[in-house]
Amino acid sequence: MAHLSRFLSPLTRFRGLFSRKPARANDARSAVPAIRKATGPTLEATGLLRSFGSGSEKTFALQNVSIELRSGELNLLMGPSGSGKSTLLAVISALLRPDAGHVRAMGQDIWRMNETELERFRLRHCSYIFQGYNLFPALTARQQLEVVLQWGEGAGRTEARKRADRVLGQLGLANKAHLRPASMSGGEKQRVAIARALVKNPSFVFADEPTSALDWDNGQQVIGLLNEISRERGATVLVVTHDHRLVPFADRVFEMSDGRLQLDAPAAPDTGVFYPDQTLIDICPPHEPRLRLREPVYVNTH
């Protein structure tokens, strides 16, 4: 889905500052068990249809998909290649217009907005993280964040540097601030991409296979950070992945097949861990302690 990359400019006009507890990159297990009051969906999509091509070449990538996401939750979207995961993520994240259906986010029907309103919605409320990192090759880690603040928000140099350094520090990148992408490891690049996403304190974080180019340790760290963004900052996080080892980090797991949503499973209330099938249990035996990151999440329905 090459068209996604054109929306990845870090420019943003959002003026929110970090005000919450800092995330700690090196200890994903530090996340405090949350007791959350159940809230309504912050993102609600109904009856989504999306096709590509025409005539005999026509592909129906989304076939009547409905989905609800809530704030403070990390959602995984899984399924075979070509099942429509990236298309669904793009449609509900205001990047790709559906043929039919509605997406309501923060009380607004986003696909009824005009282009200016859509652009404002993306810039203010959404962050996008993709497999390819989409960092500027010529800029250092610090500058990747500073441009978001200086160009997007009009922040002064001193303020931009202070905020950039704070976020880099929160993600364990303080000693990498001076490096350009060519000198960083894949995991470091992805953490800089996450830092850039975080600096605007988004309501929604959309990530398409953010860990697929990383080894397991770096992948675990990245998903741990996304987990913390949802828990500690109250963001709604949707992650497309093929990696079943990430399931223990999630609140809910959605499964797609042939353009349809098959499964929406909340994390099991007794363990906080959902195993969708035997395969996962084979890959991640329940006694494997480092994977059991989530404590039970109690949802108060009253």
Ligand X SMILES: Nc1ncnc2c1ncn2[C@@H]1O[C@H](COP(=O)(O)OP(=O)(O)OP(=O)(O)O)[C@@H](O)[C@H]1O
- From ligand X, Mg ion, none, interface partner of 53 (C-beta below 5 to 8 A by class): ligand X
Among 12, 42, 86, 220, binds ligand X (CB under 6 A): 86
Q: Among residue numbers 47 through 66, which ones bind ligand X (CB under 6 A)?
A: 52-53, 59, 61
Contact 127, 200 (CB under 8 A): yes
Binding of ligand X at residue 84 (CB under 6 A)? Answer: yes
Among 42, 71, 86, 241, binds Mg ion (CB under 5 A): 86
Q: Which of 87, 93, 143, 211 binds ligand X (CB under 6 A)?
A: 87
Residue 286 token pair: 């329940």
What's the closest the beta carbon of residue 85 comes to Mg ion, in angstroms? 5
- Token duo for residue 32: 């405090």
Q: Shortest distance, CB of residue 102 to ligand X, whole angstroms?
A: 19
Strand duo 236-240 + 74-78: pairing: parallel
The count of residues interacting with ligand X (CB under 6 A) is 13
Residue with tokens 């005009």: 114
Separation CA 247–CA 243 (nearest Å): 8
For position 132 contacting ligand X by CB under 6 A, the verdict is no
**Strands across the sheet containing 204-208:** 126-130, 204-208, 236-240, 74-78, 252-257, 260-266
Q: Is residue 85 a contact residue for ligand X (CB under 6 A)?
A: yes
Rounded Cα distance between 22 and 172, Å, is: 11
Residues in the chain: 302
266 binds ligand X, rule: CB under 6 A: no
Residues lying near ligand X in the complex (CB under 6 A) are found at: 1, 52-53, 59, 61, 79, 81-87
